[in-house]
Amino acid sequence: MKKIVKSVSEDIVRAVLYIRVSSEEQVKHGYSLQSQRERLIEYCKQQGYQVIEVYVDEGKSARSKLKNRTELLRLIEDAKQHKFDRIVFWRLDRWFRNISDYYKVQEILESNKIDWECSDEEYSTTTSNGRLHLNIKLSIAQNESDQTSDRIKFNFDNMIKNGRAITGSQGVPLGYMVAGEEKNKHVIKNPETEKIAIDMLDYIRKSGSIRQTVLYINNKYDLKICYDSMRHYLMNEKYYGYYRGIENYCEPYITKQEFEEIQSLVRKNVKSNKKYDYIFSGLMKCPLCGCKLAGFRQVTTKPKYNRRYTYPSYRCNHTHNDKLCTYHKYPKESIVEKFVLDNITDEIMKLISDNETIQEKEDTNTKIIDKDKIRLKLSRLTDLYLDGMILREKYDIEFEKLNSLLNESENKEEIKKRDLSQYKQFLKSDGLSIYNQLNNASKRMFWAKYIEYIIQYEDGTFHIELK
């Protein structure tokens, strides 16, 4: 018995297809995306399902981390918005080979009353024996995947031991490249960047500064290496020929002693701001490159009084360290704090007012749309396409029109006001009344609850973006 929760007779079932194939499977077993798509479309036609979307994860393993299966993540988000009723995939191993991840996603689906089924396998989750069978199948699939992972690790270890490359040229540091025959590639010095690598390694030992090395290399060779990339280059053991426990893995640029000397300099370049809790850490944003501004102590000298003043401030490290940005404002924390305190209440009141205005317009403009008629048209359109009565181009145009109408109707039915409860509570309880009693760490947590980011533009004006 297949896992079917909703009665098909209640309405036309809105189905989505999930297709996945790893690069290795496609080559070895022919589990192509096209063959899966054709099989699933035919299956849905036989079941009378209306296919409204296809999610395709190409080149992804079923053991890949959820965050790396982008189409699966999109499917989950659409499930939370109730855009479909059922997920159809070819076999269980197309869905998951990891028990823990399977149940994480299953919990989301069940909470949104969405079920799934396989076109070529049968499962039941309504009985204890059915759930046991499902767990056994997932365990077997996970074990097969683990064994494959072990074999790959063994092969990689053997390749490294023999000095062979396990990555492409993008996986090696500046000054190296991957070259050789298809099954006998090695990491060798890159003649085009060899001089740059030598210059970089010499300069860091002379200057002792990663930032100065970044500026020197970028200016001399017209490159755009950022501070973090430079730091990772300098920490790469391949520069003295060592990799994953194997000495003489590749031709070295420096000795081990010279490499350790550079590591000592790299460690000294790490600065910590832990002595001071920056109130807006993680909230200040560069208006030009979009990166988060970093807290630092801005020192100002006033010769007239023979005194130095230190101000907690913020700066763009893509400007300060890497010269990859041109934002030269250094917002002082005291000025930012005063602006936020003076304007946060008005910003919250504006947010609430704007949201209520939008909601009123939505309510006024809502039109009654017959969803059943649209679904029937979609079903007929799909039949025409599958029977070869219309071309794909015509099908795509008409499908997009009908699907947009259906989505518009469902969105208007499910429109929910933005949750403004925390902002209304802020106004009601005078959220700023206890602010001055908080330490900096607590102030940071306080603002992070309401603010997405803060920008100070180069003309000195500010913008607060609320969550």
Catalytic residue numbers? 22
**What are the Cα distances from residue 39, in Å, to 94, 168, 299, 463?**
13, 35, 68, 52
- What is d(CA 266, CA 194) in angstroms, rounded to the nearest whole number? 21
- SS3 state at 16: strand
Q: Is 462 left (phi over 0), alpha (psi -120 to 50) or beta?
A: beta
The encoded tokens of residue 212 equal 């100065």
**What are the Cα distances from residue 294, in Å, to 57, 211, 400, 419, 443?**
37, 15, 45, 31, 17
How many whole angstroms from its chain centre is CA 226?
21
Q: Is 456 left (phi over 0), alpha (psi -120 to 50) or beta?
A: beta
- What is d(CA 315, CA 232) in angstroms, rounded to the nearest whole number? 22
Give the position of tokens 């909601």.
359
- What is d(CA 316, CA 61) in angstroms, rounded to the nearest whole number? 38
Among residues 422, 423, 280, 276, the alpha carbon closest in space to that of 338 is found at: 280
DSSP state at residue 208: -
Burial label for 234, CB within 10 Å (0-12, 13-18, 19+), is: buried
- In degrees and rounded to multiples of 5, residue 251 shows phi and psi of -65, 125
Give the position of tokens 């030009």.
288
DSSP readout, 137-198? HHHHHHHHHHHHHHHHHHHHHHHHHTT--SS-GGGS-TTEEEEEETTEEEEEE-TTTHHHHH
Bridge pairing between strands 294-302 and 86-89:
unpaired
